[in-house]
Amino acid sequence: MEYKDYYKVLGVDRDATQDDIKRAYRKLARKYHPDVSKEVDAEKKFKEVGEAYEVLKDPEKRAAYDQLGSRYQAGEDFQPPPGWDSGFEFRGGGFTEAGGGFSDFFEELFGRQGTAGSYRRGSYNAKGEDHHARIEVDLDVAFTGGSRQVTLKAPQVDASGHMVVKNRTLNVKIPKGIREGQQIRLSGQGAPGMGQGAQGDLYLEVHFRPHRLYSVEARDLTLHLPVAPWEAALGATVKTPTPVGAVDLKIPAGSQSGKRMRLKGRGIPGDPAGDLYVTLKIVNPPTDDDAAMALYREMAEKLHFNPREKLGVAL
Amino acid sequence: MSDEPMVTGTLIRETSVVSLGDLSRACGEPADWVLALVEEGVIEPQRSSSGQWTFNGRCLRRAVRVHRLQRDLGINLSGAALALELLDEMETLRRRVQQLERIL
């Protein structure tokens, strides 16, 4: 397995004080918390930072970890030497709420000593905890419905009292009309209950990946549609894309860039369906076209048009 | 294609309602904790026909988020409430920036 340099993860020196470590952890936790950070690997970094703190904040674990010595590099192949933790007894601490999802490195060194404490909730016959997970889907799924595979890591205590992380894959139906942030509740897919308690539920929070063309807000989509100057000036019927195929759009004569048009019911399906808002953007034909340039010159000569008139500057 | 059996869940719509008990359980917290959220103005209950409190999908999402912020970052309730409002505003602004950047 890979060696983890917990000091490096928190960005502190090996002789950092417990206060230094706490401060460093708090700052990084705020930075990478998945609810706060938009970075792609925020959750991974958050867990990494949490694991480093789990070890370094506990004087016993920290001392044992330091015993391994500082000669290993992060990521280097590693096996704990026999008796590396002799003399250490890991009491208390247990696991933080974000239990499970610890690296192999952590499990190998500290997994056995941890208590199954995070599950000591209330009475012996209790319904299992509800779990939450995020899934990312493409916008098209909202229009057609579909299914997605979700892999979950479920920490469990096995028969011999060890913490193991079991991977579970579910094939989840994503209904048509799903919206950003909506939750799908899967009964009985959460944590196992205690004693005779039922299994908890799993809530999947659905998020859309950014789309190349459309912005999404609730059920409405927004699209910037390029149009030619003559299409805008003279009016035209043009084809505009939608997530389920192109449709005709009638552009009124005298349109300008920035004009917003509404295609009712072309947004995310539902009751009522959302709308597709199209914002016109006038674009010029390329300037390597001689015919176009000739026409531009003619317009420049014949049209007396000052686009900057309202700014108070003359031509 | 997957050979895992398909699992169908219940979609929690904006108009869906969950009970006080469901909400507490979803966050792994006692009912008192949910009440504190209502008092702080983070979520608003509605009343069912039998007079019981119910919460919609938006409330569920907000409550779960507050719980995670409290649990993971040690923020107190008012801090988490403010954080939620600021995060929402940032989402809106990010979306607008994204839209505007497409024009350029």
Q: In angstroms, rounded to a whole number, what is the distance separating the alpha carbons of residues A283 and A232?
A: 10
Interface contacts (A, B; CB < 8 Å): 100
Is the pLDDT at A166 greater than 80, yes or no?
no
Any bridge partners for residue A220, and if so which? A217
Nearest Cβ partner for B7 among A98, A173, A205: A173
Per-residue pLDDT reduced to its tens digit, A257-277: 999 999 999 999 998 999 999
Is the pLDDT at B68 greater than 70, yes or no?
yes
Q: Which residues, in sequence order, are CB contacts of A68 under 8 Å at separation 6+?
A: A80, A81, A84
Question: What's the pLDDT score for residue A114?
Answer: 41
Q: In angstroms, rounded to a whole number, what is the distance separating the alpha carbons of residues A143 and A141?
A: 5
Confidence category of residue A149, pLDDT binned at 50, 70, 90? confident
Q: In angstroms, rounded to a whole number, what is the distance separating the alpha carbons of residues B44 and B53?
A: 9
Per-residue pLDDT reduced to its tens digit, A41-75: 888 899 999 999 999 998 888 988 888 777 777 77
What pTM, to 2 d.p., does this model score?
Answer: 0.66
Per-residue pLDDT reduced to its tens digit, A77-122: 777 776 666 655 554 444 433 345 677 777 777 765 443 334 333 3
In contact, A221 and B102? CB cutoff 8 Å? no
Q: Which residues of B touch A121 (CB under 8 A)?
A: 28
Nearest Cβ partner for A172 among B9, B71, B103: B9
Flag if B98 and A215 touch (Cβ within 8 Å). yes
Contact residues, B window 21-80, toward A, CB-based 8 Å cutoff: 25-28, 57, 60-61, 64-65, 68-69, 71-74
**Residue that has been written with the tokens 């076209």 in this structure:** A289
Q: ipTM for the complex?
A: 0.74
Q: How far apart are the CA of A184 and the nearest CA of chain B, in angstroms?
A: 5
